[in-house]
Amino acid sequence: MIPYGKHNICDRDIEFVIEVLKNEFLTQGNRGVQFENKVASYTGAGYAISVNSATAALHAGCVGLGVQPGDLVWTSSNSFVASANAPMYCGAEVDFVDIDLSTRNIDIESLKEKLHKADLTGRLPKVLIPVHFSGLSCDMKQIFQLSRKYGFKILEDASHAIGAEYLDKKVGCCEYSDAAVFSFHPVKIVTTGEGGILLTNSEKLANKARKFRTHGITRSIEELELSSPGNWYYEMQSLGFNYRLNDLAAALGISQLDRLDAFVEQRNVLTRYYNDRLSNLGLSPQIITTEARSSCHLYTILLPQNRDKIFSYMTENGIGVNVHYIPIHKQPYWKKRCQSSLELPNTDEYYSKCMTIPLYPDLNMNDLEKVVTTLEDAVITYVA
Ligand SMILES: *Cc1c(COP(=O)(O)O)cnc(C)c1O
């Protein structure tokens, strides 16, 4: 089976991890800080806080931005459930904005309309979590302008988007947001096994997130609330979690980052190849906006008919396909918590037609040929 996505591990990655195994510290050594510095300098963000998943990073971001019970957070329903779960961990109410069918990202007109209505009823969101679908940045300049007008904060779910660019800057630099997160799950662009990172230019938010990932504990003299009786002393000042990234994972990340640009370039090459080869099938691939360079995490197509039959045909013929995403608002847990009036026509239409075909740097010419010809057969058979 050709999988839809796959990590790439080289001998040097393995050596980096083995080296940590021989060191004194398996966690809380210096690899975490080195990894953070590397991601910060790559993206241009002022602060990087590594954690053990992007979900934890989203949680830390929500807490850092002051999301509390009674607050409202908006995100995109065409995403992995974690985008909405993180604000829910804080007791917030979550609502969803519709997407644009061609970019698969938050639709700016829908967002404007929803904000206008929310303003009239006095129920504006405290935080918006735009999701950069497949590594294509949302229209952050417009979202930023709206955040100024309506007074909400922005937490970018850039889980797919490390290595991507927007207006010639790296996604994650937080030029148009308060914070951003990347995921290092093995299907994403670079991996640490499990892992994530929160990026921000706010020192206050960074300090809050650092405490939050380690039980709400600080050892920093300047931060202590009580006077320190000795060098052993630490204070737990708020309720945090154990969300730390261990040194084995961080070492793998450090090594992987050296190949990030090559991975993104190869993903772009493969995307252009598919765009070319599939152009006469009318499959509506994601449209990359002119302001952006995508990290090309996923190759998604829209099948006008018989998606489910085509999906089965592909898997029966050894092609790992997927659906990104089952809309969050369709999940049983979320269904009960969404307003009955919630309408996301583009998200629903996208979900009824979408299919993800294999895309990862190691995909070779034979694999590509097999994916393309199998898909051609399926479309000829099942689409009138
Ligand atoms: C993968 C993913 C996450 C969660 O990342 P983890 O590192 O697995 O916690 C969140 N949001 C999106 C859009 C994702 O694709």
Is residue 176 reached through a cis peptide bond, with omega within 30 degrees of 0 on the bond before it? no
Q: Name the β-bridge partners of 355.
A: 301
- Centre of ligand 1 to C-alpha 307, Å, is 25
CA distance 30 to 250: 9
- Centre of ligand 1 to C-alpha 182, Å, is 8
Query: Comparing C-alpha atoms, which of 53, 49, 32, 10 is closest to residue 251?
Result: 32
CA distance 341 to 61: 29
User: Which DSSP letter does residue 296 get?
Assistant: -
Spell out, as residue ranges, where the chain has pLDDT lower than 70.
none
Q: Which tens digit of pLDDT belongs to each residue from 122-152?
A: 999 999 999 999 999 999 999 999 999 999 9
The H or E element that residue 218 is part of is: strand 217-218
CA distance 140 to 322: 28
Q: Are 203 and 197 in contact (CB under 8 A)?
A: no
- Centre of ligand 1 to C-alpha 157, Å, is 8
Write phi, then psi, for 242 (nearest 5 degrees): -95, 95
CB under 6 Å to ligand 1: residues?
A: 53-55, 79-80, 82-83, 131, 157, 159-160, 183, 185, 196
CA distance 113 to 173: 28
Atom of ligand 1 nearest to the CA of 133: 13
Q: Are 214 and 220 in contact (CB under 8 A)?
A: no
> For the chain, percent helix, then strand, then coil, each to nearest 5?
40, 15, 45
Q: Which tens digit of pLDDT belongs to each residue from 292-325?
A: 999 999 999 999 999 999 999 999 999 999 999 9
CA distances from 161 to 27, 170, 296, 299, 352 (A): 26, 9, 8, 14, 25
Question: 321-340: b or e for each residue (b if 16 or more CB lie within 10 Å)?
Answer: bbebbebbbebeebeeebee
Atom of ligand 1 nearest to the CA of 196: 7
Tell me the CB-side half-sphere exposure of residue 127, using CA atoms within 13 A.
Answer: 33
Atom of ligand 1 nearest to the CA of 297: 15
Residue keyed to tokens 């998604």: 300
- Centre of ligand 1 to C-alpha 295, Å, is 15
Tokens of 72: 């409202």
How many residues are recorded in the chain?
384
The H or E element that residue 239 is part of is: none
- Centre of ligand 1 to C-alpha 289, Å, is 23
Strands 354-357 and 179-183: unpaired
- Centre of ligand 1 to C-alpha 328, Å, is 13
Mutation test residue for ligand 1: of 159, 190, 300, the one with most atoms within 8 Å of CB:
159
Atom 10 of ligand 1, nearest CA residue:
82
* Amino acid identity for residue 32 in this structure: G
